[in-house]
Structure 1
Amino acid sequence: MSSSAGGTTILDRDLLLKGLEDQPWFEKNIPLLEIPDKHIQEVYYYRWQTYKEHLVYTGAKYGYMASEFLNRVSYGAPYGGIVAAAGHHITEGRWIRDTRYGQDIAKYWLAGPGQFPKPMRDDVNKDTSDWAHEYSFWAATALWKQYLVTGDKDFIVGQLANLVKQYRGWDTHYSSSLGLYWQVPVWDATEYTAASYESGDPYHGGVGFRPTINSYQYGDAIAIAKIAALCGDSELEHEYRSRAESLRTALQKHLWDSESNFYKHRARDDNPSGSLLGTREIMGYLPWMFSMPCDDSQLAAFSQLTDPQGFLSNFGPTTAERRSKWFMYEAENCCRWDGPSWPFATSQTLTAVENVLHDYPAQNYIAPEDYYEMLHRYARTQYRNGEPYVAEAHHPDGDRWMYDGYNHSEDYNHSTFVDNVLAGLVGLRAQSGESIVVNPLTPSNWDYFAVENIAYHGHSITVLWDRTGSVYDRGEGLRVYLDGQLVGSRRTIGLIKVEVGPSLPTHVSSQINIASNGQRDPQLPIAFASYTCPADDPMRAINGMIFRRGIPQNSRWTSYNSPNPKDHLGVDLHKDKAIDNVRLSFYDDAGGVRIPNTYDLQYWVGDAWVPIPGQVRSPMPTSSNTETKIAFPSILTSRLRVEAPNAGSGVGWGLSEFEIWTSSE
C-alpha cells in the first residue's frame, strides 16, 4: 500500500520495535508510541504483535479476517471467525496504515462468510440464522470509526446497503411495545451473568432488554444516518436518526434505574411489572460508548468506577458490582461475567469514559486522572509471569488470569487496547471533515510523550509533548505535525484542532495469495515436504496464519530431527499458474529450529526441479517470522518448493507460511 507524504523521524523505531517479529511490517503499518508509563507502552506493542497474529488470510476470495482464538473453535463461522468481538477488531485495526486488512474484515462479515446461513441451534444461537448475527455486533459504528481515521468515503458508502441489512437482521429481536431490542446474555458474549443466574438457566437463560444490544443498535443507527448523509440519501438519514432517537427514549424510559443511577437489564419473560435487575453490571456504561445519553445528571453512574463497593478493583473494573449477591458466584469455573475482569468489557468502559471526558460537559464523577488509572490498571492486567500477555478474563483482585486455557486462550483477541491509547490517552479524536482534534488525557506530571506517523486520511500525523523541549529538541509544549510539517502547537496540554486538507487516496492491493488453503480443501493447493517433524504439518505452512513463537499454538512446518542433510517444503497448485512473487516466513524457535543460512527456491519443469532464474531477494531474516520476499520474471508452473540445509544434530529449519502472490487467479 502506498500512502502519505513523508512523516517525521523523531523516535528510535529500532529500539521501540525491538523484539517484535516481522519488524518491517510494524515499521510500515503502526504508529510509534513513546510514553513514561512503560507498562502501557510495552502492552501497546505487544497488542500490535497479537493483532497481527490474528490476521488470518482466508484465501483469494475473501482475503483477511480477524480471529478471536488462534485455534478455531466449533461454534465459529467458516475460516474461524467469531462475530462477538468483530466491532473491537475493526476499531483496533483502523490505525493500521494498510487499509486492506480492515476493509477485508468488514467485508468478511457483511458481504462474505458472515452472511452464510448457520444452524439455528443452542450452541450457535437458536434465534438467528447467519454468522454475522450469532452474537451482538456494533458493525456500522465500527466501520464509521474506521472511516474517521482512513477517510475512505468510497469504501464506507459502498458498505451502506450491507450495514442496513445487518441492522435489520435484528428485527426478530425487537419489541414494538417497548421500542427496545432483546438479547440473551450469552449471545452478547457475556454468559453466566447475574441476569442469567436469576433466570434459573445460568448459561442460556436471562433473555431480556439490555443496555448492550440497544446501545449497539443506537450507535449503528447514528452511523448509518451519517453514511447516508455522505452519499446524499436524506430519506435514509432521516429514517435512521428517527430510529436512534426512539431507541434513546425507550432506553431512558425502560432501562434507567433512577434509584441506583444506572442502566440495567430488564427480563423479557415472567416480568409483568417490568422490574429491573438489582445488580449493576459493567454493561451499564455501554450507552456512553455510543454517546447515547443526553441527560447529564446520569453521569453520576461513573462514580461507581471508583467506588470500592462498585466496580473498583486492582485488575478491573469488575463486571458486576461488589454489592451484588452474585459477585464472583461460581467464578472459579469458566466463564463467568459476575465479577471477573474481562478485557472485552474493560475496553468498552474505557471508550465510554473517553467519550464522557472529551464530549460531555465537565462533571465531578470521573476525571482524566481516573481514566489514566483505569488504563494503567488495564495494562498491568495484561501480564503473566512478568511478560505482556492477554487471555480471556482476569481475577479482579489477584494477579492471575482465571480463564486461560492452555493452547486455547493465549493472545486472546477479544478487546481493544491500542485504540484506547491512541483515541483516549493521546486524545486523537478523528473527524469526518478535513481536520483532526488532539486533546490528550495524559497525566499532568508527564514531561514527555510522542506518537509518530499515525496514518490519517492518507496523511501522517505526529503528536509530541515535551514540557521543556529537551527530550525531542523540537521546542516546548504540545506540537502536531502533518506530513512532517508543524501545523499546530500550544505551551500546555490541551485541545488542538488542525486542518489536514482533503483525504488522499490510498492504494489497496488487489493481489491474492494463491497458495493459501486454510480449509484443507483438496481442490485447492496442497503442501508437501521431504520430511516433517511429527508435531508439525506441511499444510500449516499454507493455512494463512502466522503465530509468534513462545505459545503452544502451532501453525508451522519444520524439519526438526530430520535425518536428511537438507529438506524441502513445496506447494502443488494442481495446474500451471503464472508466478512472479513468493513470500516466505521462516520460523525460528532459537533451539531445534533455526533460520537456514541459505535456501533455494525451485520450480517444477515437468521432469525436474530447477532453481527459479532471476530471483531478487530481500535480505535473509535475523528473527522468526520476518517476511522474506522473492521476486523474479514470471514463470509458468504448477509446483514450487523451498529447499534448505539442516544444521545437523537434529536442528532443522521451518516455515510459518509459504505464500504465492499474483494479480489474479
Structure 2
Amino acid sequence: MGGNVTDEELVVEFANVRSATSASNGQYIGQIDFDDSSVTFTVQAPGAGTFPVSVNYANATGATSTHNLTVNGAATPITVSYPRTGTWGSFSGSQAVTVQVPMQAGANTLKFTRGTGYAELDKITANPYFNYQAYPATQNRDDTNCCHWNGPTWPFATSTTLTGLANLLQDYPAQNHVTKQTYNKLLSQFATLQHKNGEPYVAEAANGDTGEWVYDAQDFSEHYNHSSFNDLVLTGLLGVKPQSDNTLALKPLVPDSWNYFALQDMPYHGRTYTILWDRDGTRYGQGSGLQVFQDGTRIHQSAGLGNTTIPVAAPVTPPAATRMENVAANAWNADQEWFKGWDNRTYTQTFPKAFASYTNTGSNGKRCRSADNPRCVEARDAPLKATDGFIRYDAMPDDRWTNAGSTNATDHLGVDFGYQRSVDEVKIYTYDDGQNVRAPQSFDVQYLSGSTWQSVPGQVKTPATPVANKPNEVKFTTVVTSQLRVVFTPAGRQVRRCHRVGVLVPAAGRRADRQPQQRLGAGRRRCVPRFRRRGGAAVG
C-alpha cells in the first residue's frame, strides 16, 4: 500500500494485503468484500474545508463498483464510484478517481467500506501541501513561509545545475571530475522525474530519493513551468550553441552509442534549420554522418559527430507583426483572496474595473499553497478574476467568474476602462466542466453610448456559435466608449456559465487613446498581457 499515507496511518480490517508489481510500494488492499471489511486512513489537514483526495484502484467486475467513504465517523457516507478497469491486482496512474472530502483541522479518518460490487485499493493521495508524510519524514514546520527549501529537488535548481554542467563540458578545458556520461545520466533522471501518473508533468518540488512530487498543490503547482528541460536537450544534449555572428556552433554531448537523432525546423536567425545525425544513413535516407540543412538546403555534412562551427546565411528579419494588447487586463486583480488570507489586507479595484449583473455567491472550496493555515483560503467567483490577465483551464479554475445560481434570463460581464477609448475586438474565453458550468447558447457584445447600452455594430464572431474551453473572438466596427460588456444567454434554464474577457487593441494605439488626466501611475501600467501568440498578445 503506497501513496502519502504511512503504515502507522493505515488500518485494515477483514480485508487482505496483497502484493503486485504495479501497486505502489508493491502492495495493495484486496477482498474488501464483507459488510465489516474496512480500510481506514488518517490524513492531516491544515484547517476546516473541502479537499481533493485521489483514490487509485482496480475493478474487474465489468461494471461500476462503489465504496462508502465515512469521514470522521459521520452518519452519512460519501459514495466513491469506481469505473471498471482491466484485471484484478493490476494498477496504473490512470486508474484513479478524485473525491472532494470535507475535513476538519488536524487529523481526519477516512474509512472505506464496501458499497456495491467490488474494488481493490492501491493508494490514496491527499494534497502534499498539508500531508508531509512523503518528505521529509517529520515536518518541523520551521519555515512559516511555505516549504523546506533544502532537501527536496526543485526543477529550476536542477535545470540551472545541468546548464552549468553542460557549459563546463562544452566551453571549458577538459577535466577528470565529470564527463558527458555524467550529464546524460543526470538528464535522464531529470526526464524520468518530470512525470505523474505516467504522463509528462512538472510541479514545484520532488523527493530527490523517490521522485515523488511533494509540493504539488492542485490547480497551482502544475502552472509553475519552471523547468528548462527543452533547453537542456537542445543546447546541452544536442549541443546547439547560438552565436551572435553568421555561424552556428554544435557541441553535442549525446552518448557515443547513439546511431541517430534529428532536430527538425529549428528557428535560428530568422531561418529554419534541420540537424540530422545518421551514422550509416539508413535511418533518414539523407546520407550518412552529420548533416545540417538551412531552409531545406544542405549546408554541411561530416562523417563524425563532434564540435564544429558552421557558416550560415545572414539573418532574416521578419516583418513586424501588429502586437495586440488586452486593455481589459488588470494584473492587480490576481490573487486578492490569497492576499486577504495572508495578512488580511484589503483591496480597492483600479481601472480597468470589471463588473457583472450577477455573480455566484457560493464557495469553490479551499485553495492551499502551503502547509500553513493562513495560506488556505476560500476560493470564490468574482468579476475581477475574469480580467486578471490569466487563462487557466483547470478542473476548478481559480481565476474565474460564473453566474451560478442566477435566475436572470441573461447576465452580463463587463469592463470599465475609466476613460473614452476606441475598441474593435473582444475575446471571450469560456469554460465548461460538462456539469454545472456550461458555455452560453449565445452572447452579444455591447458598448455604453452616453447612458444607453447598444450592441456594437458589424459583429463578426469566430466561431459563429459559442464553443467551450476555447477563445471566442468578436471583431466589429470601431466604437468609442468607456465601458464594454458581453451579454450571455444561457443554453438552458439553471445552466451555469464561466467566462473570461479580453479587449484587444493595437499596442501602439493605446497611449494615443488615453486622456492625459486619466493616465495610470507607473505601477499600474505594468498591468499588461503576459501571453503571446504569433508575436502578439491575445489574452483575457
| TM-score interval, normalised by the smaller of the two chains | 0.5 to 0.7
Q: C-alpha displacement at 1:650, in angstroms?
A: 4.2
Q: Partner letter of residue 518 of structure 1? A: A
1:514 matched to 2:327? The reply is yes
Q: C-alpha displacement at 1:378, in angstroms?
A: 1.3
Q: What is the match of residue 168 of structure 1?
A: none
Counterpart pick for 2:422 among 578, 595, 602: 578
CA displacement 1:501-542 (0-9 Å, x = unmatched): 333335375543221222246441222223333332111111
User: Equivalent residue of 1:599, what SS?
Assistant: strand
Return closer, same or farther for 1:537/1:363 CA change in 2, 3 Å cut-off.
Answer: same
1:554 matched to 2:381? The reply is no
| 1:588–1:623 Cα contact (<8 Å) kept | no
1:531 matched to 2:344? The reply is no
Determine the C-alpha separation between the residues in 1 that align with 2:463 and 2:287.
Answer: 38
Q: What is the match of residue 648 of structure 1?
A: 492
Determine the C-alpha separation between the residues in 2 that align with 1:450 and 1:592.
Answer: 46
Q: What is the match of residue 180 of structure 1?
A: none
Q: C-alpha displacement at 1:422, in angstroms?
A: 2.0
Q: Tell me whether 644-653 or 539-548 shows the greater mean CA deviation.
A: 644-653
Return closer, same or farther for 1:515/1:478 CA change in 2, 3 Å cut-off.
Answer: same
User: Which structure's residues are more often helix, by fraction?
Assistant: 1
Q: What is the match of residue 354 of structure 1?
A: 166
Which runs of 5 or more structure 2 residues have no equivalent in the other structure? Answer: 1-134, 334-347, 362-379, 512-540
**Superposition pairs for residues 437-516 of structure 1, below 5 Å?**
437-446=249-258, 448-466=260-278, 474-506=286-318, 507=320, 509=322, 511-516=324-329
User: Equivalent residue of 1:527, what SS?
Assistant: strand
Counterpart pick for 1:411 among 215, 223, 231: 223
User: Equivalent residue of 1:335, what SS?
Assistant: coil
Larger Rg: 2
CA displacement 1:476-495 (0-9 Å, x = unmatched): 54433333433333455434
1:637 matched to 2:481? The reply is yes
| 1:476–1:491 Cα contact (<8 Å) kept | yes
User: Equivalent residue of 1:664, what SS?
Assistant: helix
| 1:529–1:567 Cα contact (<8 Å) kept | yes
Q: What is the match of residue 198 of structure 2?
A: 386
Determine the C-alpha separation between the residues in 1 that align with 2:454 and 2:194.
Answer: 49
Determine the C-alpha separation between the residues in 2 that align with 1:466 and 1:340.
Answer: 39
Determine the C-alpha separation between the residues in 2 that align with 1:516 and 1:625.
Answer: 19
Q: What is the match of residue 373 of structure 2?
A: none
Q: What is the match of residue 79 of structure 2?
A: none
**Superposition pairs for residues 100-499 of structure 1, below 5 Å?**
333=141, 335-405=147-217, 409-446=221-258, 448-466=260-278, 474-499=286-311
User: Equivalent residue of 1:433, what SS?
Assistant: coil
Determine the C-alpha separation between the residues in 1 that align with 2:281 and 2:406.
Answer: 58
User: Equivalent residue of 2:510, what SS?
Assistant: coil
Q: What is the match of residue 42 of structure 2?
A: none
Q: What is the match of residue 540 of structure 1?
A: 385
Q: C-alpha displacement at 1:431, in angstroms?
A: 1.0
Q: Partner letter of residue 516 of structure 1? A: A
Determine the C-alpha separation between the residues in 2 that align with 1:653 and 1:630.
Answer: 18
Q: Give the fraction of aligned pairs with identical amino acids, expressed as a percent.
A: 39
User: Equivalent residue of 2:485, what SS?
Assistant: strand
Determine the C-alpha separation between the residues in 1 that align with 2:277 and 2:406.
Answer: 54
Q: What is the match of residue 233 of structure 1?
A: none
1:568 matched to 2:412? The reply is yes
| 2:426–2:501 Cα contact (<8 Å) kept | no
| 2:202–2:227 Cα contact (<8 Å) kept | no
CA displacement 1:56-86 (0-9 Å, x = unmatched): xxxxxxxxxxxxxxxxxxxxxxxxxxxxxxx
TM-score, L = length of structure 2: 0.54
TM-score, L = length of structure 1: 0.45
Return closer, same or farther for 1:616/1:465 CA change in 2, 3 Å cut-off.
Answer: farther
Return closer, same or farther for 1:605/1:474 CA change in 2, 3 Å cut-off.
Answer: farther
Q: Partner letter of residue 393 of structure 1? A: A
Determine the C-alpha separation between the residues in 2 that align with 1:464 and 1:626.
Answer: 37
Q: C-alpha displacement at 1:470, in angstroms?
A: 6.3
User: Which structure's residues are more often strand, by fraction?
Assistant: 2
**How well do the aligned residues superpose, as a CA RMSD in angstroms?**
3.4
Equivalent residue pairs, number: 338
Return closer, same or farther for 1:477/1:331 CA change in 2, 3 Å cut-off.
Answer: farther
User: Equivalent residue of 2:394, what SS?
Assistant: coil
Determine the C-alpha separation between the residues in 1 that align with 2:308 and 2:468.
Answer: 41
| 1:583–1:660 Cα contact (<8 Å) kept | yes
Determine the C-alpha separation between the residues in 2 that align with 1:477 and 1:601.
Answer: 59
1:664 matched to 2:510? The reply is yes
Q: C-alpha displacement at 1:598, in angstroms?
A: 4.2
User: Equivalent residue of 1:572, what SS?
Assistant: strand
CA displacement 1:217-241 (0-9 Å, x = unmatched): xxxxxxxxxxxxxxxxxxxxxxxxx
User: Equivalent residue of 2:474, what SS?
Assistant: strand
